Each structure stands twice: as C-alpha cells, then as structure tokens.
Amino acid sequence: MSQISTLAFDLEESSGQGHGMVAFVDPKSHQIVECNDSLSEALGVAKTQILGETVFQVFTSKSRRSAEKVYRSFLKTQSVSEAELELEDTDGKGIPVTLRLSGARDEKGKIHCTRFSWHNISDLKKETNRLREKVALGLREVNKRGKHLQKEVERRKTTQSKLRNTVTLLRRRAKETRILAKRVIGIQEAERRRLARDLHDETNQKLAFLSLQVAGLMQGLPMKTDQLQQHLQSVLDNISSLANEVRQLAHQLHPAVLEHLGFVEAMEAYIAEISQSKEFEIVFRHRNVHKTIPLELSLCLYRVAQECLGNVIKHAHARTIQLSFVGFAKSLRLSIRDDGIGMTPKQFRGLSQGLGFVSMRERVRLVKGRLRIKSKPRKGTEIHITVPRVENIS
C-alpha cells in the first residue's frame, strides 16, 4: 500500500511539471504498471491501452533497441541512467525525448519497480536544428568569403610579383641609364678638354702669329699712309679681342686652372670673366676648403656652378648672386642664391625643355651627392649641393 501511494505521489509531481511523462515498469516482465496522463496524451492513446504493454512498445522502432540497451544496463548497474530517444506517437513522426531511469528498492535494496520518466525535447531539438542551420549557413558564408579572399590574395600576389618584376626592370634600366650618363659626361669632358687644347695650342697661336704679321706690316709702311695705319690698328685690335674670346672659350671648355690650382681659384677666375660686362653683382665666399679636392668632385661642382650661374644670367633677372662654398669634416656644400624672378616646381624638377637641371642632377648623383632647390615665383632661387668629401668616388 505504501508503495502505491509513493507511485501516486511521483505521478502527480511529474504531471505537475507539464512536459514530464512517467511510467512505472515491472523489472521482470517489463510491463507498464502505471503511467501518467502526460504520457497517454503524448502517445495519443488511452491510458488503459498503455497499461500492461511492454515498456519498449512506447518507443519508435528506430530507438527501441537503444532503449532496451539502456534499460538493461540500468538494471545491471542499478544506477540512475539517462539517454536521448524517441517515443512513438499516432502520426508516426516520433517525439524526441530524454529518458531518465530510476528505481524503487525493497528492504534488501533490490529494485522492485523501475521509473521511466521522459522529457519532451522537441522544442529544444527544433531550436538546436535552427541554430545548426544558422551555423551551417554562416559557415557557408564564411567559406564563400574565404574563397573570395583567397582569390583576392592570389590576385594581389600576382600583382605584387608583376610589380616586383617591373621594379627590378626599372632598377636595371636606371642602372643602365646611370652608366650611360656617366659615360656621356666622361666623353663630354674629354671632348671639351680636346677642344680647349686645340683652341689654345693652335687657334690662339695662329691668332698671335697673325697679329705679329699685321704689326710687322704696320712698321714697314711709310708715315703718310695714316689711314691705312688706322685701319690696320683696328684689324690688330679685332685680332686681339678675338684671341681673348678664344682664350675665354678654351677656359670655359676646360678650366686648366681647376686642375692646377683648384675649385676656388677656378671659380674666382670664372666669376671675374662673366662679371665684366654684366649688370649684376656676384659675391663669392668660401670657408674651410683648404684641403685638396679630388678633380672628379671639383669638376662636378664647377660644372654645376657654371650651369647655375648661366641659368641666373639667362633666366633670373637678378641683381645679386651669392655663391658660398663651405667645407665640413666629411662633406662640401656649394650654395647659389639669387634674388631674381624665381621659378615653379615644374621648372626646377627638370620638366621643362632644358637639359641644365637634368645634367646637374646626374652629375651630383654620380659623386653620391645631394641637390636641393628652393624657389618660388618672385622669391628668388636657392640651390644647395652637398657632396661627400671622399678621395675616390667611383
């Protein structure tokens, strides 16, 4: 009697939980001896049809075998057991449940009644499936994006490798151009030197001889040929001014003084020459440049200064040009400043027709130096060249 009342209590409590389906089973015959309404409602059959049936009949054929296994294992171990299975309902879809087995024991501790309690997990399953689908969808999207990213990475890799090839090619071309520029500048200097020597040794000598001849002629003429004397004197003057110009030209082409006396003296001589007839003032200052400068460096600086001064004369309309040449422990700096009309970046970046800036930059680069230009329209121009003071540059 006490056992029955315990079962009744258990059943009521289980029904109160709403979803809880409970049945009590005889462990020997496996027949259902009692069950609650929740179970009969869920299975869609009357309670009277359930009682007396083997408990395994309430499971779908799919999960019957597992139910038997769980039950047998429970009886053997006599410990509480749990599993996920399916109950068979009338429409044959099956109700997903969790099964919990527990037993009521007699005085000897032996199970005399097994309690099957099922919990309907349809909603949980649905939610799990919904989440699973969502995750699968997310995964598909991630995969899709991953593939897209992979393609993008591949595309970038290809572009990068193409760019690398182009950079290598450009570097090679730049190197070739540098070698070519160096050769061109070398050839140009050699040619200038040859021209200067020819002008000095041949043309100038011939002019000197011609002026001696004219002077001789003048001496041999009788006094009364005054007009002729005057005429010859003017020929003589022309010859001497021509000789002067040829000398200057030879000097500009190849300043021998640069080789023999150095940059400062060559610059002073050049400034004296160009200052003669012009309407501007050139101020040249130098500091700490006593040490001898390698010819390659002084030639570079001289040519750059020549081009800068030439540019100021040609384009700047300046009144004052300041040249400064300063020696530091490891470098030399030449600066040319003018108070002229200045220029736009397009002009000084060498984008104009002229070759002056292009050649200047190339010469400075060949001696591993740096060229900086500061200029603005109507604000004058400053050009700074810094070169390392090394003995052997190439």
Q: Please select the residue that binds ligand ATP; options are 59, 304, 311, 334, rule is CB under 6 A.
A: 311
Shortest distance (Å) from residue 360 CB to Mg ion: 8
Q: Answer yes or no whether residue 347 interacts with ligand ATP by CB under 6 A.
A: yes
Q: Both tokens of residue 148?
A: 């897209």
Q: Does 312 bind ligand ATP (CB under 6 A)?
A: yes
Using an 8 Å Cβ cutoff, are 34 and 55 in contact? no
Q: How far is the CB of 319 from ligand ATP (least distance, A)?
A: 13
| 3-state percent breakdown (helix, strand, coil) of the chain, nearest 5 | 60, 20, 20
Residue with tokens 């027949």: 31
The item of ligand ATP, Mg ion, none sharing an interface with residue 24, based on CB under 5 to 8 Å by kind, is none
355 binds ligand ATP (CB under 6 A): yes
C-alpha to C-alpha distance for 210 and 240, rounded to whole angstroms: 10
> Between 43 and 336, whose beta carbon lies closer to ligand ATP?
336
Rounded to whole angstroms, how far apart are CA atoms 211 and 217? 10
Q: What would you report as the CA-atom Rg of the chain, rounded to the nearest whole angstrom?
A: 55
For the bound state, the minimum distance from the C-beta of residue 266 to ligand ATP, rounded and expressed in Å, comes to: 20
Compute the least distance from the CB of residue 340 to ligand ATP, in Å: 5
Which helix (H) or strand (E) segment is 205 a member of? helix 204-220
Paired strand residues for 118: 21, 99
Of 244-252, 255-263, 323-331, 356-364: span binding Mg ion (CB under 5 A): 356-364
Shortest distance (Å) from residue 343 CB to ligand ATP: 4
| Residue whose C-alpha is closest to residue 59's, from 84, 38, 27, 36 | 84
By the rule CB under 6 A, 280 interacts with ligand ATP: no
- Cα–Cα distance, 172 to 218 (Å, whole number): 66
Among 96, 340, 356, 369, indicate the residue that binds Mg ion (CB under 5 A): 356
How far lies 310's CA from each of 36, 305, 317, 343, in Å? 114, 8, 12, 15
Query: Which among ligand ATP, Mg ion, none contacts residue 246 (Cβ within 5 to 8 A by kind)?
Result: none
> Binding Mg ion by CB under 5 A: which of 311, 359, 375, 381?
311
Interface ranges with ligand ATP (CB under 6 A): 311-312, 314-316, 338, 340-343, 347-348, 350, 352, 354-357, 381
List residues near Mg ion by CB under 5 A: 311, 354, 356
